[in-house]
Chain A
Amino acid sequence: MYWPIDLIVLTFVILCAIAAISVKDLLGTAILFGAYSFMMCLLWAVMGAVDVAFTEASVGAGVSTVFFVAAVFRTSRRTKDSNF
């Protein structure tokens, strides 16, 4: 059976993106953003852009998550948004 793996991964990308902007805990948002980057990395790899996937894995899923966690550590963990 043929598996449309890119569509499955794309669904996860969109789910992670929506979750990242709707969750109120900013630490959770940082982790969700890391998950988003990892799914995006899988999508690049499926499309054959291995160099871009490598960059996305190291920069997006790796270092930027750490930067976000560090910024949350030094500011507040709860967002004051009331839109959601």
Chain B
Amino acid sequence: MLYGTADFPDWGDPSSPASTHLSDYYIEKTIEDTQVPNIVTSVLADYRGFDTMFETAVIFTAGLACFLLLRDFRGKKERFYRHKPTGVILHIKDGKKILAVGKEFEHMDKDWVPSDLIIKTVCRILIPFIQIYAMYVVAHGDFSPGGGFQGGVIFGSSLILLAISYDLKTLVKRIKEKVLGIFAALGVLIYVGIAAICMPMGGNFLDYSKLAPLVPGDPHHVRALGMLGVEIGVGFAVMAVMAIIYINIVSEGRHDEGL
């Protein structure tokens, strides 16, 4: 295999097949066609929009597969509760008895470790900044490195950080499983929807330039706006799928306890 790589064109070779036909066009025409300074984004989301669309579908399918393989609705019968003021641990074997968790009691499990005040506080302060940065990465995908995929992953990792620094129940309580599923499907739907709207407007699938009558503002910017729309869709899907995969892996599908 290493011997075979010797036949590849050199890195950055101007006479390689890819550089002689395609790259020239992208480098010369991107600004003129799409008004997007970041050529990589315009290639990924516009010129090769189909590729990214099915990539998003692959991500969605990965989340769906994790959900279908791992999700376990039976729940655990044994529960452990800790009485906060005294530190007494209650072990309830009857699955139906559920104590109210709040000021007096807190959930715990066999791998329970006391949550550290420093870690909790630092993560609580950090998470909003991570999420705002994720939105910045999505919104600036047209101008700087980044885009829906990276922004979605960063947003999803902020949710995972919440689960790690507090516990999994905090995350599941904040964002319901159904909401995550809806976000994952909605992301793919936004992408396909924007692409499909172009067809009744008289263009091909994914031909954003035909959306000009629907969008206020300069008609030259419509392709950039179309790209922003699909990037937001990708961001939604990736964010939800990352959280779904993490929650299902770490709790063996029971959504109750974990890292």
Whether B157 contacts A62 by the Cβ 8 Å rule is yes
CB contacts (< 8 Å) of A74 on chain B: these are 249-250, 252
Report the separation of the CA atoms of residues A66 and B258 in the bound assembly, to the nearest whole angstrom: 13
CB contacts (< 8 Å) of A47 on chain B: these are 11
The total number of A-B Cβ pairs within 8 Å is: 51
Q: Which of A51, A58, A70 touches B153 (beta carbons < 8 Å)?
A: A58
Whether B145 contacts A51 by the Cβ 8 Å rule is yes
Whether B259 contacts A73 by the Cβ 8 Å rule is yes
Tally of chain B residues near chain A (CB < 8 A): 23
Whether A66 contacts B246 by the Cβ 8 Å rule is yes
Tally of chain A residues near chain B (CB < 8 A): 17
Look across to chain B and name the residue whose beta carbon is closest to the beta carbon of A59. Answer: B153
A69 in contact (CB, < 8 A) = yes
Whether B258 contacts A70 by the Cβ 8 Å rule is yes
Whether B145 contacts A63 by the Cβ 8 Å rule is no
Give A9 Cβ to nearest chain B Cβ, in Å: 14
Give A44 Cβ to nearest chain B Cβ, in Å: 11
Report the separation of the CA atoms of residues A70 and B168 in the bound assembly, to the nearest whole angstrom: 12
Interface residues of B in 10-34 (CB under 8 A from A): 11
CB contacts (< 8 Å) of B157 on chain A: these are 58, 62-63, 66
CB contacts (< 8 Å) of B245 on chain A: these are 67
B236 in contact (CB, < 8 A) = no
Q: Which of B38, B150, B164, B250 touches A58 (beta carbons < 8 Å)?
A: B150
Give A29 Cβ to nearest chain B Cβ, in Å: 16
Residue picked from B149, B150, B252, most chain A C-beta under 10 Å: B150
Report the separation of the CA atoms of residues A53 and B11 in the bound assembly, to the nearest whole angstrom: 17
Whether A66 contacts B145 by the Cβ 8 Å rule is no
Q: Which of B41, B153, B249 touches A71 (beta carbons < 8 Å)?
A: B249
Look across to chain A and name the residue whose beta carbon is closest to the beta carbon of B247. Answer: A70
Can you list 10 contacts pairing A with B, beta carbon distance less than 8 Å?
A47-B11, A51-B146, A53-B145, A62-B153, A63-B157, A63-B242, A67-B245, A67-B246, A70-B250, A74-B250
- Chain A positions near chain B (C-beta within 8 angstroms): 47, 50-51, 53-55, 58-59, 62-63, 66-67, 69-71, 73-74
Which 9 pairs, one residue from A and one from B, show the smallest C-beta to C-beta distance? A70-B250, A50-B145, A58-B153, A51-B40, A70-B249, A51-B145, A54-B145, A58-B150, A54-B150
